[in-house]
Structure 1
C-alpha cells in the first residue's frame, strides 16, 4: 500500500513538473494584457530579481557548460518576464502615476528614490549607463564568444568523432560510453549555437528598455498634464521617477542574467567551479604576489598618494604570498618523504631470485612512469584492464595479465612490449602531448615531431595540448599518450592471439565453460583428444582471425569427428565448416552481399594439382608462380580496399588451407574462405579475379 502511494505521489510530482513550463509561459504572456495591482507587481519584480540571482549562482558553481545546458531557454524566459513586467508596470504608471511615487508599488518607488536619491536626472544617467554596459560590453562579448565557440565546436566534430571511434576500437571505452560522448559533442554544438542566438534576445531587450522608458515618460507627461491637469514640473517629476524606477528594477536583473551568460560561455571546462579556478590559478604563485605587494607598497610611499590604503593592501597581498609559499614548502616536504626509498637489507641469493619471463610485458622509460602511477592520475592500468576485457569479449578467452615495469635502459620516452621475453613491439610516447594521426584526408600540416602511429604505421605528428582543437578541425585523429600505448598493445594482443592461448588459458577457459554446461568436455578430453590437440586446433583458428567465442560448437564438432581422425588440419577444417556462418559474419556483417575475390580457373587447377601431389606443404608452389600469386593478390587487395571492401578470397575447399598459410605471411589482412564455409542464404558476388587473363 505504501509503495503504491509513493508511486502515485511520484507520478503526480512528475506531472506537476511537466506542467510548470507551459503554465509559466502562459502567465508571462497574460501579464502583457491583464491589469495587475501594485502588490502583485511588487511580488513579481522581487521574483525576477531572485530568479536572476539564482541563475548567476548556478552559472558560478557549474563546472562544465553543459551542466547548465538549459541556460539559453532560461535566457528567453527571463527576457519575456522582464518585458511583460515592463508592459504591466507601464500600464499602472500611466493609469495611477498622478497619485504619487508609490503608484506602481513599493519596489519601483524604492528603486526610484533610494537607489538614485529621488533625482530623476541621476536615475536617467544610471539607467543609460547600465543599458550601455549590458548591451555594448557584456551581451556583445558573450554573444561573440558563443558564436566563435559554436563555429569551432562544429568544425572539430569530425575529429572528435574519429577520436571516439579510435578509443572504442581500441577497447578503451564501451558502446555506452561512446554513445554518451557522441551525445555530449552534439549537445556542445547545440548549446553554443543556442547561446549565440539567445544573446540576441538580451540585446533586443536592452533596446526595448530604452524605447519603453522614452515612450512611458512622454506618455506620462501627456496623461498627467492633459488628463489629470498636473503642472508640467509635477508631472515630469512623478512620471519620470516612476519610469526610471521601473527601468532600473528591470535592467538590474537583466545585467545579472547577461553576466551569467558571459560566465557560462567564457569558462574552460574543468572539474572545478569558478571560485576554485580563480583562487587556484590567480593566487597560486607566491612570486607574483610578492612582486605585486612590492609595487603597491612602493606606490604607497609616494607623497600625495593615499598611503594608508596602499600600504594596507600591500600588507594583505604580502601575507597571502607568505602563506602560499609556506604551503608549497610543506607540500614538497611531504612529497619528498613519500618518495624516499626504503632501505632494503642485502640478502643472500635464493631460489626466489629465479623468476619466469612474463607472458606479456610492458616496459616504459622513466618519463612515462606517471602514466602507470595512480598517485599522479595515470590511467594506463585502467585502460589495459579495459583492453583485456574487450579482448575476452570479442576473441573468446581471457589473455594473460600484462606486467608493467620501468626500464632505465630505455630512452626516457620509449616503451616496448614483450611476449615471453622477446620484444614484439616498441615505440616512443610523450607524456602530456597528443599524437595527431593522419587518416588520409587532412587539410593542413601541423608543426611538431613527425613520426608514425606505432600500431598501424600511419603518418602522424606529436603536438602540444594547445594544438589539439586545431588538429581535429584539420581532420586529424587526435589521441593522448595513454591511448597511443594501449592501442599499440591491443593491436599486438590480437595479432598474437594464437600464441597467447597457452595450456593455462585453455584450461581456465574449459573450466569456465563447464560451469555453465557441466560435463560438456568430458566425452572429448582426454577420451578422444588430448588437451594439446584441442589447443592446436584453437590456435589454428586464431591464426586465421577466427574468434573462439562459440566454444560449444567447437567442442561438439571435435567430439563428433575426433573418433574418426586425429589429424589437426582435418579437425580444424570441420570446425571451420561448423563455424561458417560466424566466419562469414565476421567478414561481411549485417547480411551484406559478399563481394569477394576468386582465383582464375586455370590458376585454381594448378594449385589443386599442387595440393594433390604434396598435400602437407606450401613449398610445392613453384617460385615463379608463388611470386606472381602474391603480386596479383596484393594488387587486387589494394583495389578492393580503395572501394571500401574487405580483402576476402573464396576458393575451393581443397586448396583453402594451402593458400591461407602461404598468403598469410605476406598479406596478413587477407581472409581466405572455402565455398562450403559460406551459408547458402548468403549471396556471393565475385568482383575481382586473381591470376590468369582477367575479364
Structure 2
C-alpha cells in the first residue's frame, strides 16, 4: 500500500475508534489541534485552487472531515461528563474566548452558530443546488459546441475527448456538492445538540457526583461546554466557508486572489471617490480626524498607483503590437519559424469551403444546422459502407463567390456547387407536367435539371409533385455523394488498424492468424479500398477477414483476393443491386469477348494487367455504350454480368469510360435472383 492510502485509512479508522474507545485528554488535544489544521488546509486550498476540478474529491473530503469531527466531539463529551477534564484545548477555548464569563462565552458561541447556520450553510446549500441544476442543463449545449469545434477542425479528437471528460467531471462534482452540503448542515446541528447535552448533563453530574453548588456546576460545565462547542464549530465553520468558496467561484479556472483584488481595486476613479469621501468625513464630522483623513489619503495614493500601472501596461502593449508581438518578433519572423512552417504542411482529408453568403447555414447562433448534418453524414456513411469518415473541415473562404462552395479531397478540389440563400431547389421527378417559374439551374450531386424557387412558391411546387430541397440539404447530399465516390482514397492504414482492433475483442483468433502472418496491413487496406471503390460495404469485416484468411494461403494478389471477398459478400451485393421479388434487367458479356480479354491478361511479379489492343478495346466500349443505353432508356441501372475470372479485368477496362457502370460476376448473385438479359456486349462488328 502507498503511504497516502495508509494515511487515509488511519484517519478514518481513528474516527471510528474514537466513537468506541475512551481517549486521554492529551490525545484529545493532539486530535483537536490536528482537526483545526486540516480545516485550515482545506480552506486555503479552496481559496487558491485555480480550477474547481482540482478539488474534485471535495464532497468525499467533506464526509471524512465531518465524521472525524463528530467522533472528536463524542470523545470530548465523554471526558467532560466523565471526568470534568477534557484537556487543555477545550478548557483554553472556554476560558480565553469567553473571558472566564459564561454569559459572554455563551453569546459568542450563539453568534458563531447563527453565522454558520443562517449565512454560510444556507447560502452554500442554495448555490450548490442551483449550480448543479444549471451545470446539468448546460451539458447538451456544451456537447454540441464540442462537436461543432471538432467538425470545423478547431480541435482534434484528443482535445474533444478531454473536453467531454471535463464536462462529465463538472456535472458529477457539482451534483455531488449539492448533496455534500447536507453533511455540513447536519454536522452543525449535531454539534449544537451535543453542546446542549454537555451543558445539561455536566451540570447535573457536577451537582450529584461531585457535590458542587448549582452556580459552581453551571460555571464550570458551562465554560467547558462552550469551549467544546467552539473547538468543534470553528473547524466546521472553516469547512463550510471552503464549501461556499468552491461553489461560488464565478470562473471555473482562475487565480482567485488575483482576480478578486484586480476586480475590487482595479478602477482608479473608484479609489479616488472612496478616498475623497472618507477624508471629507474625517474633516467635516467629529469622527477621528487622523484615522479617516489618513485612510482617505491611502485610498487616493492607491488609486494613483493603479492609474500609473494601467498606463504603463497600455504603453507596453502598444510597443508589442508595433514590434509584431511578444518578444519583438515580427509577423514575418513568426512565419519563418520551423514549427509554424510545419503546421502549413498538414493536408485535411476532406474540406468544405464556402463563401460568406453560406456562413449563416453553418453558424449555430444564426439557426444553421449544417454542422449537425455533417455529423449525420459521418454516421450514415459508417452504417452504409462500414468505414469511418475522417473529420470534415468546414471553412469560409472570402475568395469564393458569396453563394459558392467547393469540396476538396486531400487539399485538391474535386467538386463545387452554388446555392441561392433563402431559396429552394425544385426538381421535376419526371411526371409533373405543369411548369413553375424560377431560376434554371442544375442539381450539383447528380447534375439533374432544376429551378430555384422562393419560399412563397414552395408549397405550390410540392403540391404539383416537385421534389423541393432546402440549401443545407443540397450541400449535405452533394458532400455525401462525393465522400461515397472517394471513400477508398480516404481509407488509411491507420483506419484499417482501427477497424481490425474494433473487431479483435470477439475475433482475436481470426485477426492474429490473418495479420501479420498471412497478409500485411497494406494488403488488407488494398482489398478494402477495392471494395469501397465499387461501393461495396466493408461493414461485415469479420466475414471479409475470414475469406482473406482462407484464400491468402494460396495467393497474395490483392485483386484476386478482392474477387474472393466479393463472392463471399454475394448476399449483400445481390441486395444492393437486385431487388427481391422483381426481375432485374441486365446486360451480359459475350463469351468471345471474355476469351479475348483473358487472352490479353499479362502476369508479372507485381500482379496481372490487361494488354488489350486498341481496336478491340474501341469495339468493346462502343458495344457497352449501346447496350447500357438500352437499360438507361428503361430507367434501369447499367449492370453488366460477366464470368468470375473476367469481372475485375472488364471493370478496370471500362471504369475510365463509364463511371457508373456496375459489373457483377455470376458468383456474386444469389440463386433466387431473377435476371433478364436485354443485350450482350460483344466485339463483333455488327
Aligned pair 1:391/2:348, yes or no?
A: yes
Residue 598 of structure 1: how far off its partner (Å): 4.1
Residue 290 of structure 1: how far off its partner (Å): 2.3
Deviates more, 1:316-325 or 1:574-583: 574-583
Residue 336 of structure 1: how far off its partner (Å): 2.6
What corresponds to 1:205 in structure 2? Answer: 187
Residue 328 of structure 1: how far off its partner (Å): 1.6
What corresponds to 1:114 in structure 2? Answer: 96
Q: Does the 8 A contact of 1:173 with 1:386 survive in 2?
A: no
2-structure distance, mates of 1:296, 1:591? 82
Structure 1, residues 193-212: CA drift from partner, whole Å, max 9, x if none? 11111111111111111111
2-structure distance, mates of 1:617, 1:284? 83
Q: Does the 8 A contact of 2:120 with 2:241 survive in 1?
A: yes
Q: How does 1:338-417 map to 2 (within 5 A)?
A: 338-340=320-322, 389=346, 391=348
- CA spacing shift, 1:580–1:242, aligned 2, 3 Å: same
2-structure distance, mates of 1:653, 1:163? 45
What corresponds to 2:141 in structure 1? Answer: 159
Structure 1, residues 396-448: CA drift from partner, whole Å, max 9, x if none? xxx9xxxxxxxxxxxxxxxx96xxxxxx5336889xxx9862xxxxxxxxxxx
After superposition, the CA RMSD in angstroms is 5.0
What corresponds to 1:239 in structure 2? Answer: 221
In structure 1, which of residues 454, 474, 496 is the aligned counterpart of residue 408 of structure 2? 496
What corresponds to 1:94 in structure 2? Answer: 81
Residue 88 of structure 1: how far off its partner (Å): 0.4
- CA spacing shift, 1:210–1:599, aligned 2, 3 Å: same
What corresponds to 1:547 in structure 2? Answer: 489
Deviates more, 1:327-336 or 1:245-254: 327-336
> Helix, strand or coil: the match of 2:348?
helix
Aligned pair 1:426/2:360, yes or no?
A: no
Structure 1, residues 517-560: CA drift from partner, whole Å, max 9, x if none? xxxxxxxxxxxxxxxxxxxxxxx9996332255599xxxxxxxx
What corresponds to 1:21 in structure 2? Answer: 8
What corresponds to 2:503 in structure 1? Answer: none
Structure 1, residues 324-368: CA drift from partner, whole Å, max 9, x if none? 1111212222233333489xxxxxxxxxxxxxxxxxxxxxxxxxx
1-structure distance, mates of 2:185, 2:96? 28
- CA spacing shift, 1:60–1:544, aligned 2, 3 Å: same
2-structure distance, mates of 1:653, 1:47? 82
In structure 2, which of residues 375, 394, 404 is the aligned counterpart of residue 487 of structure 1? 394
- CA spacing shift, 1:33–1:451, aligned 2, 3 Å: closer
Q: How does 1:461-610 map to 2 (within 5 A)?
A: 487-488=394-395, 495-497=407-409, 500=412, 544-547=486-489, 579-580=530-531, 588=539, 598=577, 605=586
> Helix, strand or coil: the match of 1:496?
strand
Deviates more, 1:381-390 or 1:213-222: 381-390
What corresponds to 2:262 in structure 1? Answer: 280
Q: Does the 8 A contact of 2:271 with 2:302 survive in 1?
A: yes
Q: Does the 8 A contact of 1:656 with 1:673 survive in 2?
A: no
- CA spacing shift, 1:330–1:229, aligned 2, 3 Å: same
Residue 288 of structure 1: how far off its partner (Å): 2.4
2-structure distance, mates of 1:262, 1:582? 61
What corresponds to 1:406 in structure 2? Answer: none
- Tell me, which stretches of 5 or more residues in structure 1 are unaligned? 1-11, 98-102, 343-372, 376-380, 400-415, 418-423, 438-448, 459-483, 503-539, 553-573, 630-651, 663-671, 687-695
State the TM-score, normalized to the length of structure 1: 0.58
1-structure distance, mates of 2:220, 2:206? 9
In structure 1, which of residues 38, 42, 48 is the aligned counterpart of residue 25 of structure 2? 38
- CA spacing shift, 1:548–1:201, aligned 2, 3 Å: closer
In structure 1, which of residues 140, 150, 159 is the aligned counterpart of residue 122 of structure 2? 140
Q: Does the 8 A contact of 2:150 with 2:160 survive in 1?
A: yes
1-structure distance, mates of 2:663, 2:248? 61
- Tell me, which stretches of 5 or more residues in structure 2 are unaligned? 325-329, 333-337, 375-390, 398-403, 415-481, 495-524, 544-570, 591-619, 638-649, 674-686
> Helix, strand or coil: the match of 2:356?
strand
1-structure distance, mates of 2:4, 2:27? 24
In structure 1, which of residues 281, 300, 307 is the aligned counterpart of residue 282 of structure 2? 300
Residue 32 of structure 1: how far off its partner (Å): 1.2
2-structure distance, mates of 1:605, 1:262? 76
Residue 73 of structure 1: how far off its partner (Å): 1.0
Larger Rg computed on CA atoms: 2
In structure 2, which of residues 211, 219, 238 is the aligned counterpart of residue 256 of structure 1? 238
Structure 1, residues 503-529: CA drift from partner, whole Å, max 9, x if none? xxxxxxxxxxxxxxxxxxxxxxxxxxx
2-structure distance, mates of 1:45, 1:279? 33
1-structure distance, mates of 2:167, 2:528? 44
Q: Does the 8 A contact of 1:608 with 1:655 survive in 2?
A: no
What corresponds to 2:679 in structure 1? Answer: none
2-structure distance, mates of 1:485, 1:292? 56
What corresponds to 1:315 in structure 2? Answer: 297
Aligned residues: 476
State the TM-score, normalized to the length of structure 2: 0.58
> Helix, strand or coil: the match of 2:366?
strand
> Helix, strand or coil: the match of 1:495?
strand
In structure 1, which of residues 74, 82, 85 is the aligned counterpart of residue 61 of structure 2? 74
Q: Does the 8 A contact of 1:108 with 1:245 survive in 2?
A: yes
> Helix, strand or coil: the match of 1:229?
coil
Q: Does the 8 A contact of 1:94 with 1:216 survive in 2?
A: yes
1-structure distance, mates of 2:278, 2:23? 55
1-structure distance, mates of 2:172, 2:234? 28
- CA spacing shift, 1:584–1:298, aligned 2, 3 Å: farther
- CA spacing shift, 1:90–1:166, aligned 2, 3 Å: same
- CA spacing shift, 1:583–1:218, aligned 2, 3 Å: farther
> Helix, strand or coil: the match of 2:83?
helix
Residue 172 of structure 1: how far off its partner (Å): 3.8
Residue 263 of structure 1: how far off its partner (Å): 0.4
1-structure distance, mates of 2:15, 2:291? 49
2-structure distance, mates of 1:542, 1:310? 79
Structure 1, residues 445-468: CA drift from partner, whole Å, max 9, x if none? xxxx7363676889xxxxxxxxxx
